[in-house]
Amino acid sequence: MPRLASEVEATSYMRLLCLGGPKDGKTCTVLKSAIGMTYVINSDDKFSLRPALEFTDEFEFDMALGDNLRDIEKCITAAREGVKEGRYQTILWDTITEYCRRAEDVFAKATENDAGEPDGRRYHPQLRKHIHGILDRLFGLDAHVIVNAHWDDMMGAAIGNQLDKTGQGICPGLPGQLRKTVPRSFQDVIFLDRKGQKREFLTSACGVFMSGTRNLPGTVPYPADISKLWDAMNKHNETLTTKKDQTK
């Protein structure tokens, strides 16, 4: 049975993709301002969380580098149990970029022929299904889910029939169609902009995620603070609710 537009629900939890240049402070920025206790799926390296200890120790973590696909399954189970117990309010996957880089090698190797050549037609769909399966299960948790991704300047024409490496709605650094399909899976996408020691979150209504987003139409800067960003989102939802009530 059709439901009224007034019954559309506001989001209860953040589903956020955070892009930023390598070493620009994505991990520290998210962890020091995250909402509640955070569980980190660390897919970069065993040292990458060390700088965050200068700002907070309100997190727990497990490693899932992408070279062993069973590790991410254990992390999802730990996240689900921690959320159910009320221990975790935020889940951070840091970073999806490095995980995909290693996981692609795993899937590619499984399709190698006798000459050691992988078959992209076979392993790319499997990799894509694997990554979106992870995201779907994380999004099913009653917690804020934030995924960090590296943004690298990969400007240039695509080769052959490959997907463009940068542009509207593209997350560069991810393999194949994941550059497009991952960003569109999130409710919100932000870019961490760093100018010296100053950091801001940038959002863009036109969906272009790249350096210089600040100069595009519809771009709005916010303090590089997850809690403040969530407050701004809630205020926006309250405004929509107020407008809806006034039209009744």
pTM: 0.88
Q: Is the pLDDT of residue 234 over 60?
A: yes
158-213 per-position pLDDT tens digit: 444 454 544 555 677 899 999 989 998 998 889 998 888 889 998 876 556 555 55
- The residue-averaged pLDDT of 49-58 equals 96
C-alpha dihedral sign at 36, 145, 59, 73? positive
How far is Cα 227 from Cα 222, in angstroms, rounded to an integer? 11
Reported confidence tier of residue 238, pLDDT bands at 50, 70, 90:
confident
How far is Cα 241 from Cα 237, in angstroms, rounded to an integer? 6
In this structure, are strands 38-42 and 198-204 parallel, antiparallel, or unpaired?
unpaired
Helix residue ranges per DSSP H, 4-95: 26-33, 69-84
- In the chain, the domains with their CATH numbers are 14-246 (3.40.50.300)
4-26 per-position pLDDT tens digit: 666 666 678 999 999 998 889 99
